[in-house]
Amino acid sequence: MPRQTHASRRKPTLPSAETPVKRKPRAERVTGLRSVETLVHFQCGDCRKWWSIGDAPARNVWYCPWCGRQNRFAAAPERT
């Protein structure tokens, strides 16, 4: 297959002046992503320090990251 030269490459076509390009206003354009996270806060019953876990699995036993003690927590109420 022969190699394309600069002259044989297709140039992109631009819209003519009769057909204006309709773009959304800058405030309406989607430029990023977002996600929703449930943040669960715990307090150790022994050392009384707090820690948080995002999207924590549903379980009742957690170990304190500060003192290492096992803690039992009541089940969280269902959110509607």
| pLDDT tens digits, one per residue of 36-53 | 999 999 999 999 999 999
Q: Where are the domains of the chain?
A: 37-75
Q: What is the pLDDT of residue 79?
A: 67
In the chain, which ranges are E strands?
A: 39-43, 50-54, 61-63, 70-72
pLDDT at residue 25 in the model: 76
Backbone angles phi, psi at 51, to 5 degrees: -150, 160
Residue range 47-66: average pLDDT? 95
pLDDT band, residue 75 (cuts 50/70/90): confident
